[in-house]
A = this chain, B = another copy of it.
Amino acid sequence: MSLVFHERVGLNGRRISPFSWRIRYAFAHKGLEPEVIPTRFADVQRVRDLSGQHFTPIIEHDGTVVHETWRIACHLEDHFPSRPSLFDGAAGRGATRFVNIWSDTVLAPALRPQFYADFINVLDPGDRRYFRETRERQLGMTLEEHCVDRDARLPEVAAVLAPLQRTLAEQPFLAGATPAYVDYIVFSVFQWARVGSPRDVLALLDGVAAVRDWRSRMAGLYGGMGDRFALYPTGDEA
């Protein structure tokens, strides 16, 4: 059985993509250890040749190529049914899809102004120009302009986090007593922010203690997966 994980990487092997992070955790949840192919933005031709499109993560499973993060998670669930479930059933999968969409379209945009101008420093140097050009075109402004009022925008972040905080104050994980894919999705957004900046938004807010505690426990899973790779550079790293 062959299993390959094309995982986005940045500066000196840092894991910098929320999409790749949630699949990394999904593999660990399933007890699978794929061959990992670290993939920079500059490796785009290899990605296109393999999958016909440019986004990571991508997996290869016995010759089948799967791209798009949600489809990869579903593939792992459907093809490894005897291994621990990412969803525990149909309603778990359906509800997780809603949380997935909420995470990527509500949570991530709320967090992004808090750290995105720093994030460029965790990219491979050869990827930074591409990243800046494409992201600034999408944002309609520079990365720095996007982040300029990040202190003033903290209340907006608190409001978006409120349902997470309330849920995690009641139950140890979003999936209940033990983590599942729904946790890996939401955690991956916080991990993106955590790797991508020295600024810890959760330390700047009141009333998010349950989210902070959960984030720590999530980083500690699978032998401290969240801390296995370097975080934001300190000092003289290139």
Q: Are B166 and A105 in contact (CB under 8 A)?
A: yes
Q: Does A91 contact B (CB under 8 A)?
A: yes
Q: Does A93 contact B (CB under 8 A)?
A: yes
Partner of A102, one of B87, B102, B177, B181: B102
Taking the nearest CB of chain B, how far is it from the CB of A105, in angstroms? 6
Q: Are A91 and B94 in contact (CB under 8 A)?
A: no
Taking the nearest CB of chain B, how far is it from the CB of A209, in angstroms? 16
Q: Are A177 and B90 in contact (CB under 8 A)?
A: yes
User: Which chain B residue shows the least CB distance to A181?
Assistant: B91
Size bin of chain A's contact surface: 35 or more
Q: Does A96 contact B (CB under 8 A)?
A: yes
Closest 3 CB pairs of A and B: A88-B89, A94-B176, A92-B92
Q: Per-residue 0/1 for A114-133: is the Cβ within 8 Å of any B Cβ (1 yes, 0 no)?
A: 00000000000000000000
CA of A90 to CA of B173, assembled, Å: 11
Q: Are B166 and A94 in contact (CB under 8 A)?
A: no
* Residues of B with C-beta under 8 A to A171: 94, 97
Q: Are A98 and B163 in contact (CB under 8 A)?
A: yes
Q: List 22 A-B contacts (CB under 8 A).
A: A85-B89, A87-B92, A89-B91, A90-B92, A90-B180, A91-B92, A92-B92, A92-B95, A94-B171, A94-B173, A94-B176, A94-B180, A94-B182, A95-B96, A95-B99, A95-B182, A97-B170, A97-B171, A99-B99, A102-B163, A105-B163, A106-B163
